[in-house]
Chains A and B, each alone.
Chain A
Amino acid sequence: MTAALALGDDALVLSHRLGEWAGHAPVLEEEVALANIALDLLGQARLLLSLAGDEDELAYLREERAFRNVQLVEQPNGDFAHTIARQLYFSVHQHGLYEQLAAGDGEFAGLAAKAVKEVAYHRDHAEQWTLRLGDGTAESHDRMQRAVDALWRFTGELFQPVEGVDVDWKALQSNWLTSVTAVLDRATLTVPTGAQAGAWTAGAGRQGIHTEPFGRMIAEMQHLHRSHPGASW
């Protein structure tokens, strides 16, 4: 129950953030790519939340404190570099996580086996853009570095064990660090230093503690459903 909510909320919230790019992406082709990724994530969220209960009720009628997503996914889109940094951190994590889940025989194995192909594409997309922005113009390099630095403190939380998700979290974290470091190096970017998790760092999303922008995001997401409760659509 908690596990399905945690993974489902990650996908739901990131999907909503990516949906906000509709009509605003740098070029039409990128718009389609972001929308595709958002749709993949929304599909994952629907399956996962359905395991935990009624998907609409869970998405539209829970208060902020009841959401179990990591704080990384609720971070605002910012500029394109911020969105790509968020995608890079999350998709590398999700890919590692779903690969482990798909290889196991837990309740998420089937779902993860299906989703892991989607997530591999999300990861590839984020890595490609990290390379292009990091190794692009002076301005794109600076912006990408700023984004990578700004979101770094949200990455520690990705490896907080989730009850009911039976994976090797330590291996997940070290593989993640290896992969992200390799991409950032190739992109001529500097890997941020400092603790990923610590007193100064963010990371209580799984406990229902969220950052300020999240409240505004779910207010918008839930507005219609709360105005017309019980309506069918």
Chain B
Amino acid sequence: MSSSTDWPLWEVFVRSRRGLSHTHAGSLHAPDAEMALRNARDLYTRRSEGVSLWVVPSTEITASSPDEKDTFFEPAGDKPYRHPTFYKIPDGVKHL
């Protein structure tokens, strides 16, 4: 079995043919970006046409820390002026 430095972990993001944005689909091991793309195609898209794939080395991703969840994400619910709720969305605006 090859060492993990030779076959680093990659995160895979897929945008399906009718999809609007790339969604994290999973991860895989590959020796480089080119092979990661090909492996992702086999593993996550079954080669359906018209999809877009992103692969990113896992080491390039910085995640927020679970310990800091409260300071990061807890909304100040008693301050409604922080939330964009005081206007109407025009009819023509899609995908919001």
Using A27-B29, A121-B47 as known contacts, say yes or no to A33 and B38 having CB atoms under 8 A apart: yes
Q: Which residues of chain A in 1-42 are interfacial with respect to chain B, using CB atoms and an 8 Å cutoff?
A: 26-30, 32-33, 36
Q: Is A56 an interface residue (CB 8 A)?
A: no
Q: Residue of A at shortest CB range from B35?
A: A128
Q: Is B2 an interface residue (CB 8 A)?
A: yes
CB pair A29–B28 under 8 Å, yes or no, is yes
Say which residue of B1, B28, B31, B42 sits within 8 Å of A36 (CB atoms). B42
Q: Is A125 an interface residue (CB 8 A)?
A: yes
CB pair B47–A29 under 8 Å, yes or no, is no
Interface of B (DSSP majority class):
mixed
CB pair A32–B2 under 8 Å, yes or no, is no
Q: Is A143 an interface residue (CB 8 A)?
A: no
Q: Residue of B at shortest CB range from A36?
A: B42
Q: Which residues of chain A in 55-112 are interfacial with respect to chain B, using CB atoms and an 8 Å cutoff?
A: none
CB pair B34–A128 under 8 Å, yes or no, is yes
The residues of A that contact B31 with a CB separation of less than 8 Å are 132
The residues of A that contact B53 with a CB separation of less than 8 Å are none
The residues of A that contact B42 with a CB separation of less than 8 Å are 29, 32-33, 36
Say which residue of B30, B38, B39, B43 sits within 8 Å of A124 (CB atoms). B38
The residues of B that contact A28 with a CB separation of less than 8 Å are 29
Say which residue of B7, B38, B47 sits within 8 Å of A27 (CB atoms). B7
Q: Which residues of chain B in 21-37 are interfacial with respect to chain A, using CB atoms and an 8 Å cutoff?
A: 28-31, 34-35
Residue positions of B touching A, CB distance < 8 A: 1-2, 7, 28-31, 34-35, 38-39, 42-43, 47
28 A-B pairs with C-beta separation under 8 A: A26-B2, A27-B1, A27-B2, A28-B29, A29-B28, A29-B29, A29-B30, A29-B35, A29-B39, A29-B42, A29-B43, A30-B39, A32-B39, A32-B42, A32-B43, A33-B38, A33-B39, A33-B42, A36-B42, A36-B47, A121-B47, A124-B38, A125-B38, A128-B34, A128-B35, A128-B38, A132-B31, A132-B35
Residue positions of A touching B, CB distance < 8 A: 26-30, 32-33, 36, 121, 124-125, 128, 132
